[in-house]
Structure 1
């Protein structure tokens, strides 16, 4: 097939330990909203509400190679850029209506990610009853570390997830505090969309979200998966 303009490059994420620098191609980015109880509370909600999802464009990723520091430009229009550290699921086998008991068969790997948010713009859209894509789906809104194959990960309820800003802990929790677990997220998501190989799922953030600014360094970590370091320029 030929195109009338140059085709855009495929968005991709480095894979830890992959031979010849092979990368994971990104199809879509799904995000789960308010998936930790304490974060839901700090955002003005409570309880185990039904999961809801929003999306970011595939090229919103800001990939960071292992051991490197990614540079994120402070985005336009906002005065309140917030960090949200998250476990990211990389889908290797697609499907629709995937039951939770089979969901992990569809997971290729996991990564550490940041759901960066223009909070003031998001809140303004909420007040007006409008879509808040402008708060979530901007350029470089999804920094992500290398994807680790699932067979090399040991994720359990006690797996620690943490974010430091300039060396001070801002967010700290465990994966077991997810309201909807990884298999449940895949089950619910695949009921709404046919998942495809290359899909990424940001699973939600714990409490402690706050603003960052130019010059700040964000250091995210999930035990058994790895780290992600981002400098705000």
Structure 2
């Protein structure tokens, strides 16, 4: 095992002989810019071996550096293997730097048709004259409030288990959440009283370098919140 010290932070990691400097850096939670995925093609993972023994093919990869840089120990972390204890300088330009991620663009008018909707219903409890099952009573109530046709809606077992107790506890005033799914509509949630004014959905823009998540208000059609970060896979290419 060899000890590699990364400068200027003096971050140390122990790695087997023959491990690349890039692999050692990733194990030390140091994120380098490796656009090519560690194939020695992009020349982005530049480091300087300050001291110690490492193996770097100058003839094959020396085109990325000047003669002066090579004399200072410049090499590509992805194709340089550790042969002995090393002190490695990582330039700031090699690290993935914090930058402002674009989360806003030009607004475009779109027709808003969310696949999830809420319906508030006030139902009548069963009687001898109307002994309909709780589920049927609920789905018919949703249909009357402008929801899908009752025969096209269904409830999964985990929701069906909650319906009887929840209807009676809420005095038969509930809000059902209906989602459009392949083949019909699913009752995905049932809540006490009127919660139809609160309904949110998430949209995620998954890019090769960044990830942006939007929280949408599905009632108003407006973005309620935005969060962004770098895609951690960027250090792998």
Q: Which has the larger radius of gyration?
A: 2
Q: Higher RCO, 1 or 2 (CA under 8 Å, sep at least 6)?
A: 1
TM band (smaller chain): under 0.3
The normalised TM-score by structure 2 is 0.23
